[in-house]
Structure formats: C-alpha cells, structure tokens
Structure 1
C-alpha cells in the first residue's frame, strides 16, 4: 500500500486520540468510528475477548450485528468464532458465494447487503484481546485491507492498555473496600489488622464469593454474609 500524507496524518491523529480517551468503551468506539471513515465499509464492530467468559460486543455501528454474533457464539461456528478461536484473520471477499460456513448465516449477511467482511484479531504479546470486524457493501480494495491491518495494530495496543488500566483501577478500588471493611471489623470486634483480614478471607472462601464483594456487603450492611455470632470466633 502506498500511504499518502493524509492517511499517515489520519493514523497519527488516531494514535493520539486513543492515548487520551478514558476507558475501554470510549477506546473501541473511537476505533469503529475511525474504521467507518478510513475504510470503504458499511458496518464496523469490536468484540471483546475475556478468558472464561463469552465474547462481548463492545461497540457496533449496527445493532443487527449483535444477533449474528450471538448465533455464532451459541453454535460455536462462524467467521467471528474462527477468528477468535484460531487467532487468525478471516477475510470473506465474496460473502454471497462463501461456502466455509452455514448457508443460513451467509444468507443473513447477504440480506443485510454485506458483500465482503474482514475479522481481525487484535493481538498484543501473542494474546488476542478483541476482534475488529468490518463489513463492506462491495469488495474491499487492496488499500482497504492494508488500512484495516494498520488500524488493527493501533487498536490492539490501545485496547490492551485500556483493559490493563481498568484492571489496575479495579484492584485499587478493591483494596480500598477491603481496607474499609477491615476497619469496621477492627473497631467493632477489637481485632488487629491481620485478624480482620483473616475474617474477611474466611467469609470469602466459606461463601464462595470474591473478597471485594464480601467487603462491599459488610460496608453496606455492617454485617458479614449469614453470620450469627462474633466473626472472631
């Protein structure tokens, strides 16, 4: 691909914008909006991948895509699932004549006016954090494909960074909650810090709940889950 000055400038602006937005939702929204502007595409979406959880549609320029994704996730088959499970780019240059997946799925894509599709795993350090999906009313050009791959690299770094930041903020929030809950136990039952933390940890394990959730309930209700006696006993 020969990238002209305007394209290079646009990607520089995108990289700068992705550095300044806060949160995963805002990051992926910026990505899909840029995809609509930079590519000859009709629809765009980002599907988030999390270990042990169903893939989640985080941003989409068309609400109808969510139903197509749910069907693929439920049946365990389809181009999106192939991109997620194999971590590979899936290009569908001629959707109406596609034979790799069910005729029903291809029919729904065709009825929606989709003639070409591209699913790009957003991978950082060998791990796919999400999939960028773009759909065209005509075949993607060579330049479109090149731009999509460059966009995917920018998006992968931005989304991985946003997820890490969110995890760190959640960890800080959890520590604050646990600290507040420990303070309540220490004051009410005359416990030291180690003993108060041990009480929270025990209730977390006994009730099969996250330590953060046990702490939040204690703060909200001033009670531990289902206790009828001093928690120090």
Structure 2
C-alpha cells in the first residue's frame, strides 16, 4: 500500500492532489473513519488543506480559533498526540467535550516534520474515529510513516509549484520587456529598469505589472 502511495504522490500534479492522496490513504490503511491535514506556511499560519468529512473541519476550527488542543500541541512539541477517549481526556476538557459531542471518541494527531536540520513542522495529520481506543501502537507507527511520506511529498509539490510560478513570472516579464523595447526602442536593461520602477512606485509585484502591460498595452498609472 505504501508503494502505491509513493507512486500516487509522485504522480500528483499539485499540492491539492497530494494532500488528498494522503488523507484518502489514511482511511484505507488506519483504523480511522475521518482524516484531515493542516499545513503551516511561513509565519506559522495554519491552513486546513484536506478533510474527508465536514466534521473534521469543525474539529480543526475548535482548535485553531483558540490555539489550543492536540493539533496545536503536536505542532509545538513536534510529537504525536493520542487521545484514547475524548469523554475521559482532561488535557483539553472543553475541546474534548465538544468533540465528543460531534461523535468523535478517538484522536491521533501526527506532525509532518521536515528533513532540514531545524526539523520544522510542515503540518499535522489528524486521524479520528467514533470508537474509543480505536488506535493501536501499530496504527501510530503506520501514521508516522505516512506523515513522513506526506512531508516529503508536500515539500516537493510546493517546490514544483513555486518553480512553475517563477518560470511563468519570468515569461510574463520577458513579454512585457519585449513590448517596451519595440514601442520605445529600448534595450533590455532599460526596459527591465522601467518595469522595476513601476513595480516599486506602485507597490505592485513585478509579475503583476508585466501582466497588466501585456493585457492593456499600458503601464500602471
């Protein structure tokens, strides 16, 4: 199953498809009824990127709105957090009571650790079951392997998207430079300097200035 997952993650065209493959795999490989994934971007902003059921979004919202719960702890302490039964866990009593009210009894949150020296947390994989004591030691071990696969795949997908955006931006800037060079008989350095100045003066990304010039044949006011 992990071999098939590796192929699916490799073939996924973007981050959205990658995270969806991860949570769907969790449903088939682990003792969970629901799964979800939260990713963290620069600045520690949390983003819910995949849920297999709307109830998972509610579980996340209860934690992220208050910055309190097993998801938050898993990220801060860089370790998995297991709740065997939400009706008897006293670490987050208010949150646990609300989650139990949603029909969720077992929770397992596993951090996605990056491979760099700092071992940053790229996200947290959340697994949920309506049954108490649903997750065994084997489930936790498999979840850690899945989280490692996910962290590598998400990093790769993000890098590819960033590279694709950079290539696209370079093409747009090149086209815009060509328009200025032809219209005003400029060399490449001067055309780029004009685009850069308009970008700085209008506090607009260089890519967006180029896009506007290409679409309207005019520079921003």
Relative to the length of structure 2, the TM-score reads 0.90
Task: Report how far residue 159 of structure 1 moved.
Answer: 1.0
**CA displacement at 1:67 relative to structure 2:** 3.5
- The answer for the alignment partner of 1:62 in structure 2 is 53
Which of 58, 62, 70 does residue 79 from structure 1 map onto?
A: 70
- In the TM superposition, what is the alpha-carbon distance from 1:53 to its structure 2 partner? 6.3
CA distance in 2, matches of 1:208, 1:86: 39
**Cα distance in 1, alignment partners of residues 142 and 17 from structure 2:** 21
Number of residue-to-residue matches in the alignment: 216
User: Does residue 1:201 correspond to 2:196, yes or no?
Assistant: yes
Q: Deviations over 1:58-102 (max 9, x none)?
A: 111012322332343232222222233443322222222222225
Instruction: Give yes or no for the alignment of 1:116 onto 2:113.
Output: no
Q: How far did residue 47 of structure 1 move?
A: 1.2
Listed as ranges, the matches of 1:145-184 within 5 Å are: 145-184=140-179
Q: What is the deviation of 1:35?
A: 0.2
Correspondence for 1:213: 208
Superposition RMSD on alpha carbons, in Å?
1.7
- Flag the 1:206–1:68 CA change in 2: closer, same or farther, 3 A: farther
SS in 1 for 2:87: helix
State the match for 2:128 in structure 1: 135
**Gap runs ≥5 in structure 1:** 1-9, 227-233
